[in-house]
């Protein structure tokens, strides 16, 4: 087993709050420069830029397919998948519940650019990715699991868009595979509650611009970077784990 650095919460220019500079080749170059062995691309409510980042990376770094679902309660939940098709199918189901983005909303929230592997804009997502989906938390988690995904409750240390901030408690009837702490790590009301949870703790940058990429990262003990090894690490199987 070896230790690998991974940033498992990275946005592209597809996310309306993502910087235009977050194109597939730019993300790959910065990830290599910062010594990241694995990335997860987790745009808001869509996975349409995952294949382009994977193609741009060519396996260096390893790219996991992901999505950051905004539930009906405005909780952000990461789904991480073993293949692009599962992430894209999850995104299509989520997208079907979103309103269309009008001219005013696009101006307010920002562009939603679908890129190719060279970073060229090939489409503009027409659904409003900044909106809450029609999936309540439990249904969102079930959707991710139905497509073979791992479920992460993200940025629990933040005062908005987390399980604690939106619900005020930890739901006993929802099963997560891991929890995530952001670079902020700065919400005293929930800090002790987060530490008391039995889940593996990941650290993700939630990068929306290149300067943020890898600023907060997980260190994983794996045989090699990849989804199946990551899934084993979350279970602590065979000497794997989150360091």
Average pLDDT over the chain reads 94
What is the mean pLDDT of the segment spanning 1-15?
98
Q: Residues 16-26: what's their mean pLDDT?
A: 97
The count of structural domains within the chain is 1
Q: How far is CA 123 from CA 58, 81, 89, 105, 119, in A?
A: 22, 24, 18, 17, 12
* pLDDT at res. 188: 55
Q: How confident is the model at residue 229 (pLDDT cuts 50, 70, 90)?
A: very high
The domain that holds 108 is classified in CATH as: 3.20.20.140
Distance CA 50, CA 56 (A): 10
Comparison of pLDDT for 185 and 234, the residue scoring more: 234
pLDDT tens digit string along 155-213? 998 889 999 999 999 999 999 999 999 876 555 566 677 778 999 999 999 999 999 99
CB 47 within 8 A of CB 87: yes
Average pLDDT of the segment spanning 105-110: 74
Which residues contact residue 208 at a Cβ distance below 8 angstroms, ignoring those fewer than 6 apart? 11, 15, 17, 18, 19, 22
Q: What is the pLDDT of residue 158?
A: 86
- Residue 109, pLDDT score: 77
Partnered with residue 203 across adjacent β-strands are: 181
Q: What is the mean pLDDT of residues 85-99?
A: 98
CA angle 200, 8, 23 (to 5 degrees): 170
Q: Other CB atoms closer than 10 Å to residue 205's CB: what's the count?
A: 23
Closest CA to 69 of 52, 49, 44, 106: 44
Domain containing residue 166:
2-242
pLDDT at 159: 85
Residue 73, pLDDT score: 98
C-alpha–C-alpha distance, residues 54 and 40, integer Å: 10
Q: How many Å apart are CA 42 and CA 98, to the nearest integer?
A: 17
Q: How confident is the model at residue 128 (pLDDT cuts 50, 70, 90)?
A: very high
Share of the chain above pLDDT 70, in %: 95
CB within 8 Å of 192: residues ≥ 6 apart: none
Reading the block at residue 130, the tokens are: 């900044």
Distance (Å, whole) CA 190 – CA 197: 11
pLDDT of residue 129: 97
| pLDDT (average), residues 9-14 | 98
- The predicted model gives 137-142 an average pLDDT of 98
| pLDDT (0 to 100) of residue 187 | 52
């Amino acid at each position: 087993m070896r230790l690998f650095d991974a940033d498992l919460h990275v946005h592209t220019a597809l996310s309306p709050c993502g910087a235009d500079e977050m194109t597939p080749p730019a993300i790959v170059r910065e990830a290599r420069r910062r010594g990241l062995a694995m990335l997860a691309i987790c745009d808001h409510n869509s996975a349409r830029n995952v294949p382009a980042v994977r193609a741009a990376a060519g396996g260096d770094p390893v790219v996991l397919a992901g999505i950051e679902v905004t539930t009906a309660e405005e909780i952000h939940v990461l789904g991480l998948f073993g293949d692009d098709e599962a992430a894209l199918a999850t995104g299509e189901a989520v997208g079907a519940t979103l309103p269309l983005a009008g001219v005013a909303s696009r101006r307010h929230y920002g562009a939603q650019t679908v890129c190719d592997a060279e970073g060229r804009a090939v489409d503009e997502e027409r659904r409003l990715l900044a909106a809450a989906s029609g999936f309540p938390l439990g249904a969102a988690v079930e959707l991710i699991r139905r497509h073979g995904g791992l479920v992460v409750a993200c940025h629990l240390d933040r005062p908005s868009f987390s399980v604690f901030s939106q619900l005020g408690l930890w739901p006993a009837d929802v099963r997560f595979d891991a929890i995530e702490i952001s670079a902020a790590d700065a919400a005293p009301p929930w800090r002790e509650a987060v530490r008391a949870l039995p889940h593996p703790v990941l650290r993700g940058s939630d990068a929306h611009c290149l300067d943020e990429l890898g600023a907060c990262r997980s260190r994983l003990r794996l045989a090699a970077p990849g989804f199946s090894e990551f899934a084993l690490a979350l279970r602590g199987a065979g000497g794997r784990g989150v360091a």
